[in-house]
């Protein structure tokens, strides 16, 4: 007898389906847990403790704080679901924080949220979910996953202001087939309304804004904590190689930055390049910020290479727009990206994510890390 697929695309009744929900303590993942519980699934909530902030009960704009863990516990108790806390501080430091620090010291602008999803959240939580014999790992990310005969594909969320596909480009095919994203078809306001209907105490909780281990966005202090030797003075040069100033450490700068250069000039100066080997900052006018050719490394492709025979769309920063481009894949897991129109502020260490448009929306094709 054929069974109909349940609401998360599995060939079982909801009551026979076990799901692990990654519960951060925010409204999104809490709502996902509540929705699935109400639909009759066997829900196990798992919350990750990723770092020691020393402020376990303080209000915080960061995700995964001590307060968030307590909120997740309260939601799980309210929903009457099993709840586990995994203490991954060491894994998180090794896989995310150390990479973040080294990336800045190399003159890059890292995205720790991608590293966190790639390592701790999906890789390790994926393995734990399998050990618990769960049928799926479910998260509160705003992306869509659509399953067809050729497997599961990732699409941008309906709510483009909340879409998180940029941060999930490094998801593997195996992970994608196991993951579920129930909020991809909802607007944020709709999620909050469902949370209120479920009487969840986090329904009006503000969204996290800062990187979880970077209080108030002060990343320089974090880097100084782990690498106190990183603040070394160096030269600021113009495009002709002339020394026009001195900086207090390259970690204080990112590509496209204007503030903090502290060099007198007739026109505004912007950071054009960071040379970590020479400990130098190269600055110039805004018109020099534009770039049309990008070199990528460490690609992760979610589709067949033939999909790149045509032009695609790319996104070069999390808050950026989709740009028309041609992607040329190389044999060494690298790629050359040629933008149709110049884009400003493209920075090494950021991701370049590929998309194509079809009748179902904007499909994520994969992406890579910007090398130069």
DSSP 169: T
Task: Give the number of other CB atoms < 10 A from CB of residue 241.
Answer: 9
Determine which one of 63, 64, 113, 212 is catalytic.
Answer: 212
pLDDT digits (tens, 9 = 90+) for 14-73: 999 999 999 999 999 999 999 999 999 999 999 998 877 554 434 444 555 578 899 999
Determine which one of 63, 64, 113, 116 is catalytic.
Answer: 116
Task: Please name the residues in contact with 283: beta carbons below 8 A apart, sequence gap of 6 or more.
Answer: 236, 237, 238, 244, 261, 263, 269, 270, 271, 272
pLDDT (0 to 100) of residue 59: 46
Sequence-ordered alpha helix ranges (H) in 52-152: 66-79, 89-92, 98-105, 112-116, 125-131
Is residue 212 part of the annotated active site? The answer reads yes
Q: In what order do the strands lie in the sheet with 280-284?
A: 243-247, 234-237, 280-284, 270-275
**Between 241 and 113, where is the model more confident?**
241
Using CA atoms, how far apart are residues 369 and 372, in angstroms rounded to an integer?
A: 9
- Residue ranges covered by each domain of the chain: 14-217, 231-288, 290-370
pLDDT (0 to 100) of residue 147: 77
Q: What angle do CA 284, 286, 291 make, to 5 degrees?
A: 95
Is residue 63 part of the annotated active site? The answer reads no
Question: Residue 209 — very low, low, confident or very high, per pLDDT cuts 50/70/90?
Answer: low
pLDDT (0 to 100) of residue 236: 95
- Cross-strand pairs, 327: 337
pLDDT digits (tens, 9 = 90+) for 275-316: 999 999 999 999 999 999 999 999 999 999 999 999 999 999
Mean pLDDT, the chain, integer: 90
As a whole-number percent, the residues of the chain with pLDDT over 90 amount to 66
Which phi and psi angles does 91 have, rounded to 5°?
-60, -40
pLDDT (0 to 100) of residue 364: 97
DSSP string, 49-81: E----S-TTS--SBTT-HHHHHHHHHHHHHHT-
Given 1.10.630.10, 3.40.190.10, 3.40.50.620, 3.40.50.150, which CATH number is that of 14-217? Answer: 3.40.50.620
Q: Tokens 């014999």 correspond to what residue? A: 133
* CATH number for the domain formed by residue range(s) 290-370: 2.40.30.10
The CATH homologous superfamily for domain 231-288 is Adenine nucleotide alpha hydrolases-like domains (2.30.30.280)
Question: What mean pLDDT is predicted for residues 313-340?
Answer: 94
């Amino acid at each position: 007898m054929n069974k109909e697929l349940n609401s998360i695309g599995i060939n079982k009744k909801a009551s026979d389906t076990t799901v692990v929900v990654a519960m951060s303590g925010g409204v999104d993942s809490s709502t996902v847990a509540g929705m699935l519980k109400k639909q009759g699934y066997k829900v196990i909530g798992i919350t990750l403790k990723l770092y020691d902030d020393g402020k376990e009960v303080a209000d915080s704009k960061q995700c995964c704080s001590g307060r968030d863990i307590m909120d997740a516990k309260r939601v799980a108790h309210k929903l009457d679901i099993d709840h586990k806390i995994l203490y991954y501080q060491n894994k998180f430091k090794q896989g995310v924080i150390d990479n973040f620090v080294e990336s800045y010291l190399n003159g890059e602008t890292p995205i720790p949220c991608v590293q966190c999803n790639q390592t701790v959240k999906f890789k390790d939580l994926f393995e734990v979910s399998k050990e618990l014999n769960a049928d799926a790992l479910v998260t509160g990310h705003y992306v869509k996953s659509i399953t067809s005969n050729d497997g599961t594909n990732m699409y941008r969320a309906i709510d483009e202001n909340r879409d998180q596909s940029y941060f999930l480009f490094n998801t593997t095919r195996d992970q994608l087939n196991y993951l579920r994203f129930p909020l991809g078809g909802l607007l944020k306001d709709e999620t909050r309304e469902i949370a209120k209907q479920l009487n969840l105490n986090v329904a009006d909780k503000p969204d996290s804004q800062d990187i979880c281990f970077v209080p108030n966005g002060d990343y320089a202090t974090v880097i100084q904590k782990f690498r106190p030797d990183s603040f070394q003075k160096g030269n600021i040069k113009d495009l002709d190689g002339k020394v026009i100033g001195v900086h207090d450490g390259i970690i204080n700068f990112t590509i496209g930055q204007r503030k903090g250069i502290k060099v007198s000039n007739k026109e505004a100066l912007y950071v054009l390049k960071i040379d970590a080997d020479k400990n130098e900052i190269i600055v110039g006018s805004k018109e020099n910020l534009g770039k049309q050719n990008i070199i990528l490394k460490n690609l992760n492709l979610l589709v067949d290479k033939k999909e790149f025979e045509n032009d695609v769309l790319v996104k070069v920063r999390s808050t950026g727009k989709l740009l028309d481009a041609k992607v040329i894949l190389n044999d060494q897991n690298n790629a050359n990206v040629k933008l149709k129109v110049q884009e400003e502020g493209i920075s090494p260490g950021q991701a370049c994510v590929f998309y194509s448009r079809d009748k179902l929306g904007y499909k994520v094709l994969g992406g890579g890390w910007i090398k130069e």
